[in-house]
Each structure stands twice: as structure tokens, then as C-alpha cells.
Structure 1
Amino acid sequence: MTTDRVIFRNGAIFDGKRLLSDHALVFSGGQSVEIVADAEVAAVGDHIDLNGDIVSPGYVDLQVNGGDGVMLNDDPSVETIRRIAQAHHRLGVAALLPTLITDTSEKTRAAIAAAIQAVKEGVPGVAGLHLEGPHLSVARKGAHDGDLICPMSDTDLSVLLEAAQHLPCLKVTVAPETVSEQQVGALSDGGILVSLGHTDADFATCQRYAAAGARCVTHLFNAMSQLGNREPGLVGSALANGGLSAGLIADGIHVHPETMRAAWAAKSGPGQIYLVSDAMAVAGTDLSEFRLEGRRITRTDGRLTLEDGTLAGADLDLTTAIRVLVTQVGVPLPDALTAATTYPAQLIGQTHGPSMKRDQMIRISANLEKCTWLFPTE
């Protein structure tokens, strides 16, 4: 660009909540400064034709296990986090929580230290850390290593509370089977975003844990007690309790589109359903397989599975998740975009809207097939 003022027009502008057509987005000084009706745009500046594409704040992904061929569990270091963040940046992610799957206490401490250091170094996109385990239910372990699942000790609690003092956001996924209501309360009081998941807990228990301080549910419908005719389970609690938000893997594999449609209609607010990728090492690569703690995971037709067929994370990016929501579930596009940007950003205390720096905005193709950064640097 040869001028300070840049105007994007002839597309749709998503302002974090609304999708505005017949409007232009104006940048000045590297910052988006206004959204104005096309007829009112001043002539001065570089005018960029969007050709019907969508401009949006970059995605916010609160569950990212890997990318660029590596998992955080492989080597919980700043360099691994940097590689994962770079891979997802290429997929339109502006902010993410690198996620450690159930592992040893040594690996957990190393991941905490690496995330703290990555934040100190300003690694682009790193908004904190998500620890998915090890305090889960063996009965709902999914692809997690059952031998490493354990109750939360006083030492574990202290480690988490200390880590939260040094991270912009620490999210932990826990199960009532291995974590007490008092511990959840202490975590929440310590500024930790507590999410329920990988649990067989009944509805009443989940409601008590929400009252104790849990605010989220990890990958709705997957690895949890289901919505039954006499027992609503964690799914029912997530939908009925307005204090809970719920992450959703919208690849059409983890959750059937009709199930997603029902959940979307049933969700009580102010908590919302938000999109997560649950991405693994293959994200941003053409790898056909990888290993998680020595276990082989194969990639076939958009599905990642262990050798016994268990789903192991997702082969998903958030542009694809938005497309699935819109084309297969029937969610309005502004709502799908909000679920990939504003809702998860709010959960981790970030402001995500139209007044953003140029390197925080993405361009999504009109057919929802791909996205690029509005001001590409690569």
C-alpha cells in the first residue's frame, strides 16, 4: 500500500456481531477506524475491491492441541508453541490457547512454563494455555491416556493457581469425578476459566459444579454424559444453564448437523455455543498420520482416529467449521462468525470487534472455502 488510508469495499463487513453489506471498512494509521455506507466513502485513499468476500476479525480458538506437524505434548516448549501458533495463524487464527492433553505432572509444569515464557516473549497469537486433563473421568477418556488420569491434589491446585497469576488466561478442563466443588470454586476465584468435560456426571452434579464456578463445557456432546429422556447429563446442563458456554467441534463428524441444529436452538443464554477446532498436529500440513505419546493417529477423509477407531481430536479449521454451521446446520452467517470470534474472545477477556489493527483482520471467501489475512505478510 502506498497511502495511509485504505478502504475495503464491495463485500460484507463483520463487526463482531453484525454482517453489513453495502458498507466499506476504512483503515488509517494501521488501524480500522470506521465502517461507513458505500455512498459516504471519501475518494481519498487506496480502494480495495473485495469481490463479494467477507472482512472479519481473526478467529479465536480456545482448543488447539497441535499444528505444523507437532503436538504440544510432544515437546512443551516455547518453540513448539510458536510453531503451533504460526500454523494456525495461516488458517486465520488471531488468538489461541495452546492445549495440553492429559499428561504427566512434569509435562504439565513444562507446558505452563512454556506458555508463560511465550506470553513474555510476545509470541503472536498466544492468549494463554488450556490444560485438558489430567483430572478427568477414565470412563469418558476418549483419546486421553487413562493411565495418566488422576484426582486433583492440593499440590495440583496450587500449581494451577500460581500459573494463573502469570498467564492472561488459563483454561482447565476437569471432571467432577476427580475434582471437588471446592476445588472448582478455588480455581474460579483464582481467575481460572474452568470447563467441564470428559465426564459421566449427571445433570444435578453438573449444575452444582456450574454454581461452584465452572463457566464452560469442553467439546459439547463428545466425551460426556448425554441428553437422555430421564437424565439430561452434562449435555443437558450445558444447554439449560445460561451460565455455561460450550465449545463445539463443527466438522460434521464429531457431532451430527441435526444434533448441532437442535443444540443451537435449545441453548439458554447468556452463555453461548462457540467454535473450537480441537486441532492436532496435522493442522496446516498434508501429513497423513502422526503420533501422540507413541500412539499412531491416522488422517482419513477429514477424520483423525487411533488404531481402535477412537476419534482423536479433529482435522478442522474454523473457516470449515463456519461453513458447516451455515450450509449443513442452517445457522445464520453472522451467528457462525460470532461463534468463531466474539464469543470465545469474551470468554478469555479479550475485546474483538471492528476497531482492530490491520494484522488482526481476515478476509473470508464468499463461498466460505478459505480465508487469508486482510494485509498479508507472507
Structure 2
Amino acid sequence: MKQLLVHARLFDGEQFHAGKAVLLDSIHIADILDCPTDLSSYHNKHVQVHDLSGLVLCPGFVDLQINGGGGVMLGGQCDLSGLEQIADAHRRFGTTSMLPTLISDRWDAMEHVADLIRRVHRHWGENSSLSAIKGVHFEGPYLNVERKGVHRSEIIRLVEEDGTDAALDLLSHPDLGVRLVTLAPEKVCPSFITSLVERGVLVSAGHSAANYQQIHKALRTGISGFTHLFNAMTPFGSREPGVVGAALDDEKAYCGLIVDGFHVHPASLRMAIAAKEARAGKGKMMLVTDAMAGVGMEADKDGIKCFELNGASIQAQYGKCTTEDGILAGSDLNMMGAVRNSVELLGLPLSEVLRMASLYPARYIRMDKVIGRVAGGYNADLVAFDPENWQIKHNWINGYERSY
């Protein structure tokens, strides 16, 4: 059945429009129309009409770093049902495209997750939140222990320990869809990065103790992004710009930002966004959540959510995820919260924030011809939210609608 979305304040991925309606035809956006004054003719044609008065209608959010949700972590024990719980949890907060992210794990867990993602792709197009899964993000295990964060040092290893050819085959298999790999460039051979890129993998620098010159060289081998800028990487300094300085100085590289008020101070984020824009123009800063299992999970009477990561106890309270030692362990952030924080904490225009949540990450994963915009021919992946309280009221994935 066709659907007509009316009376919303439409953001098409570039700008806001008033007085427009969006017509959905099955899994695609059919057209953008002037909002009809008489809707009865559409009802007579068996078109489902959604009155979105007072809401903002925009492209669905694209999150490239989701470790878990709904009480489930991605890993060797996760099954198809668990992955759907993760996708459902984030869909409630506007995420219609996502890359489930495996934090550094054993080889058998990496194989299991790769197989799981292949199985997910058989469900694309069905009325399931699994259709939001566009690929996979392997965050590690080829990282630098000096900047491990919550990753387990005994799991972090060199590529050669798994076998270079085997690692290339697993990480780059085309059946996985979009493939994103986070690694520490100083811990792998440059040819490994080049080989991944030649096979269509997006390679991002993260959990790295590299200096500016090392990152500068890695960018020439194919590094195209930086995972959770500022976190788990060498900081910007006056004499040594570090990973952060290299990320902001490069004109082509994309940067993921966790805007939860805990990972990075709002002032640092504002300055980084301004510096990147001055150097590269708009379009290179992307919102990510780095979300853990607590997103979409019920808290106890004290407002605490508890779950495990590789056998370690993690606690989420007041939006902050930590280990028992107080180390930040991912986030309890969702994409609607990231949008809200970017407006309220950073003072950014809503239009730019929505681009950071959809169009820019869609460009990075080379899917901006099908997602990230509200335009004819694009996937019917949309979000309608109340701008007064930042609550998701409706979303669509491949044209399938859910109300909240």
C-alpha cells in the first residue's frame, strides 16, 4: 500500500521545507508533493495517510558504531534474535541504518559475527528491523594496547597472529555488505591497509598511539576515517599534533563524534567541528553512538542498567557507561540523544546536526544515493520526531512504519 506523509516540517537531507508531502510507494520514496488540501481522494485510492502535524520529518539516522542494545551485546554468543533486539532498540531512537560493531574479540567470535551478518542479509526487505543492518564494523582486534580503552589487552593482537590472508578474507568478504574496520595504523603493515581498501573495505584509525607523521603516512595508504575522535588516541599538542591533529588537518577523512557529554567536552567538540569545517568544509563530521547493551534496556529502581562485556561487568547510570574501575565503556547514547545534545550542548543548527546524523555517514559508507535524503527513488527510511521533547513518534524502514 502507498503511504502519504503530510503536515510535517520536512527536512530533505539538505534543507527544511514547509507545505510538502512525501509519497511512499512500497520500499521507496515515490515523490515529494505540495501538501494536498483535500485528502479524501487519497483515502479513496487506498493510500494510507499519516498526519504528522507538529513533527519534523527527516531521513532516518545512520549509526556506524553500535556495539549493542536492548540488553544484548554483539559477540560470539549473539544470535539472529539477539541482533534483532539490538536493531529494534536503536530503531526506537530513529536509527534506520546501522553497522553492528564487534569490539576486539577472539577469531572464532569474529567468524561467528561475520556469518551472522551474512544471515541477516537474507532478511533485507522484510518487515524487520534487521533491514537496518547495512554491514558490519570490526573495531579491532588490531589495535594498540597503549590506547586500548575498554578493549581487553589479552585479545588485542597483531594481524600475523590470525594470519594476514585469513584476516583479509574475513574482513573484506563482499557478502558482509558495508565493511568498516578500525585499527591502529602503527600496528599493521601499510600493505594490509592498502589490501583492505582495494577490496572495498573502509579503514578507520582508532585506539592508536601513533604520532602525526605516522597517521599522515597511513592516510596515503587508504585510511579514510577516525573512530570516536579524541577517545583512545594521541591528543592534539603544540609540538606533536597526534592522531587528533592529523584527523582535523586532513581534508578528506571523516570523523565519528560521540556527543554524550562524557566522552568529549562540548567546547572541544565545538572547536574540532569548526577546525574541520575550516579545513575541509562541511560534511566530514558524523554522529555515532558507540552504544552498548544498555540502550533500550530497562533500568532498575536506582536508574542503573547492568550488563557484561567479555566477562567484565558494565554499569550504565545517568547516561554514562563505565567498568567497575570507572573506565568509560562505550556509551548509553542513542542517535536521537546525540542529535539533541548536538543542538543543546554544542549550539549547532538542527539542519547541520541532522546531516551529521544521516547524510554525512551515508556518504562515508558510499550509500548516499539510496539513504540520507528524502527524495524520489531513495529508500523509504524516515524518522518523524517531536522537536519540543526530542521524542521519536514514527519511523519507516524500507517503507514499513512503526509508531511510538
Q: Would you say same fold, with TM above 0.5?
A: yes
Partner in structure 2 of residue 14 of structure 1: 11
The alpha carbon displacement at 1:162 in A equals 2.5
Alpha-carbon distance in structure 1 between the residues aligned to 2:361 and 2:181? 15
Check conservation: 1:81, 1:115, Cα contact below 8 A: no
Alpha-carbon distance in structure 2 between the residues aligned to 1:141 and 1:185? 24
User: Deviations for 1:214-250, whole angstroms, at most 9, x for unmatched residues?
Assistant: 1110001110011111111111111110121011111
Check conservation: 2:256, 2:288, Cα contact below 8 A: yes
Amino acid at match of 2:179: L
113 and 54 in structure 1: CA distance in 2 versus 1, 3 angstrom threshold: same
Matched, 1:275 2:290: no
State the secondary structure of the residue aligned to 1:166. Answer: helix
Check conservation: 2:57, 2:385, Cα contact below 8 A: yes
State the secondary structure of the residue aligned to 1:6. Answer: strand
Partner in structure 2 of residue 108 of structure 1: 110
State the secondary structure of the residue aligned to 2:175. Answer: coil
Check conservation: 1:322, 1:368, Cα contact below 8 A: no
Alpha-carbon distance in structure 2 between the residues aligned to 1:139 and 1:106? 25
193 and 28 in structure 1: CA distance in 2 versus 1, 3 angstrom threshold: closer
**Alignment length, in residue pairs?**
373
Alpha-carbon distance in structure 2 between the residues aligned to 1:201 and 1:5? 51
Partner in structure 2 of residue 376 of structure 1: 402
Alpha-carbon distance in structure 1 between the residues aligned to 2:198 and 2:3? 45
Alpha-carbon distance in structure 2 between the residues aligned to 1:41 and 1:128? 42
Check conservation: 1:195, 1:215, Cα contact below 8 A: yes
Partner in structure 2 of residue 212 of structure 1: 221
1:217-366 → structure 2 map (5 Å cutoff): 217-267=226-276, 268-269=279-280, 272-287=284-299, 288-350=305-367, 351-352=370-371, 353-355=373-375, 360-366=381-387
Matched, 1:137 2:144: yes
Partner in structure 2 of residue 88 of structure 1: 90
Partner in structure 2 of residue 161 of structure 1: 168
TM-score, normalisation: structure 1: 0.92
Amino acid at match of 2:280: G
Check conservation: 1:74, 1:293, Cα contact below 8 A: no
The alpha carbon displacement at 1:357 in A equals 7.0
TM-score, normalisation: structure 2: 0.86
Amino acid at match of 1:360: D
The alpha carbon displacement at 1:142 in A equals 0.3
Which consecutive aligned stretches of 4+ in structure 1 deviate over 6 angstroms post-superposition? none
Alpha-carbon distance in structure 2 between the residues aligned to 1:41 and 1:224? 55
Check conservation: 1:195, 1:214, Cα contact below 8 A: yes
Check conservation: 1:323, 1:368, Cα contact below 8 A: no
Alpha-carbon distance in structure 1 between the residues aligned to 2:254 and 2:34? 34
The alpha carbon displacement at 1:318 in A equals 0.7
253 and 189 in structure 1: CA distance in 2 versus 1, 3 angstrom threshold: same
Check conservation: 1:5, 1:28, Cα contact below 8 A: yes
Amino acid at match of 2:31: E
The alpha carbon displacement at 1:4 in A equals 4.3
Unaligned runs of 5+ in 2: 44-48, 125-129, 300-304, 396-400
Check conservation: 2:3, 2:50, Cα contact below 8 A: no
Check conservation: 1:61, 1:344, Cα contact below 8 A: yes
The alpha carbon displacement at 1:97 in A equals 0.7
State the secondary structure of the residue aligned to 1:147. Answer: coil
Amino acid at match of 2:22: V
CA-atom RMSD in angstroms: 2.2
State the secondary structure of the residue aligned to 2:154. Answer: helix
Unaligned runs of 5+ in 1: none
Alpha-carbon distance in structure 2 between the residues aligned to 1:42 and 1:156? 65
State the secondary structure of the residue aligned to 2:62. Answer: strand
The alpha carbon displacement at 1:286 in A equals 1.6
4 and 116 in structure 1: CA distance in 2 versus 1, 3 angstrom threshold: closer
Check conservation: 1:58, 1:92, Cα contact below 8 A: yes
Partner in structure 2 of residue 199 of structure 1: 208
34 and 111 in structure 1: CA distance in 2 versus 1, 3 angstrom threshold: same
Alpha-carbon distance in structure 2 between the residues aligned to 1:147 and 1:246? 28
Check conservation: 1:77, 1:110, Cα contact below 8 A: no
Amino acid at match of 2:135: G
User: Deviations for 1:26-47, whole angstroms, at most 9, x for unmatched residues?
Assistant: 2153443333455x76654366
Matched, 1:45 2:42: yes
The alpha carbon displacement at 1:368 in A equals 5.2
User: Deviations for 1:76-116, whole angstroms, at most 9, x for unmatched residues?
Assistant: 43333222112212222111111110111111111111112
42 and 308 in structure 1: CA distance in 2 versus 1, 3 angstrom threshold: same
269 and 175 in structure 1: CA distance in 2 versus 1, 3 angstrom threshold: same
State the secondary structure of the residue aligned to 1:130. Answer: strand
